[in-house]
Amino acid sequence: MPLELLNTLASVGTFVVIATTAIAAVVQLHHMRGSNQIIALTELRETMESEGFREARRFIAANIPSLLDDERQHARLVQLPRPRELESISIVANFFENVGALVACGTGSARGADPNTCRFLILWRPH
């Protein structure tokens, strides 16, 4: 076998190995992204189902309308840090800000944010 042919076959073999490695890396990245999405959605679900989050939502549903109607309370609503009795507002608002950030950066799907089926949007929609 001539030396040039052997050299060409070695180069082609090296190219095949590198191309196969690159394809395997892309497939692995795709699987990792899917795993990260599952982890993020699981954490969101756990937060939504936690007693602290449910209590914060109950507080907001019961108290925000009257706080918004009282002009004297407006300053307390935007005060940072929030008064301890109004921390529930931050808990719920930060949760939905994180959901929006996940959708905006592509971790979540905007297609899945149908207001009739998406639990996050159903929670936020005024009743």
Residues 23, 38: one domain?
yes
Q: How many domains does the chain have?
A: 2
Q: Which helix (H) or strand (E) holds 80?
A: none
Per-residue model confidence as pLDDT tens digits over 30-64: 888 778 778 888 888 899 889 999 999 999 888 88
Q: Which domain holds residue 77?
A: 51-127
Residues 65, 89: one domain?
yes
Residues 10, 37: one domain?
yes
Residues 21, 77: one domain?
no
For residue 75, what are the CA distances in angstroms to 59, 65, 107? 18, 15, 35
Per-residue model confidence as pLDDT tens digits over 84-116: 888 888 888 889 888 888 877 776 655 555 555
Helices (H), the chain: 3-49, 51-69, 74-78, 87-104, 119-124
Residues 66, 21: one domain?
no
